Every structure is written in C-alpha cells, then in structure tokens.
Amino acid sequence: MKTHKNKKKTAIITGASDGIGAAFTKLLIKNDWNVIGISRSSRKLKEISKCFPSNEQSFKYYSCDVQDFTKLKKIAKEIEVPDLLFLNAGIYSPVNASEINLDIYKNHLNINYLGVLNSYEAFLPSLIKKKNGHIIIMSSLSGWIGLPKAAAYGPTKAALRSFAQSARYDLNPIGIKVQLCSPGFVETQATSINNFYMPGLMNVDEAAKLIFKYMDTKKFEFFFPFTFSIFMKVFSFLPDKISYYLIKKFII
C-alpha cells in the first residue's frame, strides 16, 4: 500500500488538449503525476489519453468550455482535491485595431481572462479547505507591453498578471502558492497563424520543461526564452518613444 507521502500528486490543467497544456500534461505524467485535463474538444483530449496506454488512470479528462462556470463547479465536485491548478486555456487572434473587432475583443476577454477566473473560482474552495496548493496562471510576455497585432490578446494577459499579483497577497498566507508564467513565442497552432518574424520562437516541449523546472522554485513570475524576455523587460522600462520605435523596427 502506498503511504500518504508517496501518493501521486494531481494537477488540473485547462487547455490540456493542445499546445503548451498538452506538452505539460505529458511531462507531468512522465514524472508520475496524475492529470485532470479540461478543454472543449473531447476528440483531442481522447488523443492525449492514448499517449498513456499502460497508465490510463494518470489522465482523466473533461470536455468543458472554461466559459461554463456551472460545468466547472460540477467537475470540481466530482474530482479529488488537486495539488496544482494550471490555468492555461486561452486563444489568440492577431487583430488590426483600425478595424471593427468588438466580437474578437469580447471573445478574448471571455476565454482568456474570465475563463481563468471561472476555473479559479470553481477549484479554489477545495484548495482553501485543504490550506495547501499551487496555482500557475498562464500569462504572456505580451502582458508586459502592448505589441503589434495583440490588441485583443495582450490586454487579457496584462489583466491576468495584475490579478495574480494581487491574489497572492491573500493566498500565500493560507498556504497556496501563486505563480505567473509569461512565455514569449512558443511553437503551437496558436502561433502558427502569425505571418511575422517571432523572435526566440521556442519548441513546445522545451517550454513545458521550463514550466516544470520553474514550478518548484520560489519565483513568482517566470518567463522565457531568456534573451527575448530581457529585450521585452528593457522595452517595458524604456521611454515610450524609444520602445515604440524599436518594436516597430524589430517586431513588425
């Protein structure tokens, strides 16, 4: 019989069916975690489950839109209390802000920001009850400074950053660790639509490995790839006139 100390840890991952969420799911399971994956496409989730034929118990999944708070609460009642909540589900569409984009703006807000809050609120009570847990919120380097074509996406990631910065004051004292993950460009279907140069574009498995490495550190915000992150940090501190010029020159 396994002792409590040896009990496998459990993660809830939103957006587990593709991209970074799928790569991180596979990596956690490889490292002896159980994962509960949530995303809309049951077909894609089923494909992920096929990666663990000899270890079926390690990946449970629920097809659920993160906009559906009622369904998320229902899932929370059915599952065991997680050790890690990886709030990762998100969408990205480049937009031209000179065009009418209200539906696109609202869709980003509803999925990327309110979808994270829905998942957070649905699963938080069990962590609070346990007085222990770990939440990683998926933001982006584009939450640091407004980037070209990111007028719909960037503000949702900036909002998540601000949310996580505030939430940790209330959660840390009750034993819940909060981290913010801010990647640059990672090679997934989301970025495959970009028709511009993506500096530092990173392989999705490399990104998952870095998340796995940083989740065991005391860092609140972790970001990668290193060189592009440093450029972005500098841009966000520079006088606006200079950062505007440099971003136009190097990113557009």
List the beta bridge partners of residue 179.
136
Site for ligand NAP in 49-108 (CB under 6 A): 65-67, 88-92
Q: Does 126 bind ligand NAP (CB under 6 A)?
A: no
Residue 242 or 252: which CB sits closer to ligand NAP? 252
Contact yes or no for 141/234 (Cβ under 8 A): no
Which residue's C-beta sits nearest to ligand NAP?
19
Instruction: Give the whole-angstrom CA distance, residue 72 versus residue 35.
Output: 16
Looking at residues 209 to 228 of the shown chain, list those that interact with ligand NAP (rule: CB under 6 A).
none
Q: Does 179 bind ligand NAP (CB under 6 A)?
A: no
Looking up tokens 């790569």, which residue turns up? Answer: 23
Beta carbon of residue 107, minimum distance to ligand NAP (angstroms, whole number): 9
Q: Which of 140, 147, 149, 178 binds ligand NAP (CB under 6 A)?
A: 140
According to DSSP, residue 174 is labeled G
Closest CA to 105 of 170, 175, 156: 156
- Please tell me whether residue 100 adopts helix, strand or coil conformation: coil
Check residue 144 and report its DSSP letter: T
Distance between start and end Cα atoms, the chain:
58
Least distance from C-beta 194 to ligand NAP, angstroms? 9
Separation between Cα atoms, residue 132 and residue 137, nearest integer Å:
17
Binder to ligand NAP among 115, 133, 155, 225 (CB under 6 A)? 115
Q: Which of 84, 172 has the CB closer to ligand NAP?
A: 84
DSSP H or E segment with residue 10: strand 10-14
- Give the contact letters, 142-161, x = binds to ligand NAP (CB under 6 A), - = no: --------------------
Segment near ligand NAP (CB under 6 A); pick from 40-48, 78-86, 166-174, 217-225: 40-48
Q: Which residue has the tokens 């096929």?
A: 50
Shortest distance in whole angstroms from residue 237 CB to ligand NAP = 20
The tokens describing 235, both together, are 């841009």
> Using CB under 6 A as the criterion, which residues of the chain lie in contact with ligand NAP when the complex forms?
14-21, 39-41, 44, 65-67, 88-92, 111, 115, 138, 140, 183, 185-186, 188-191
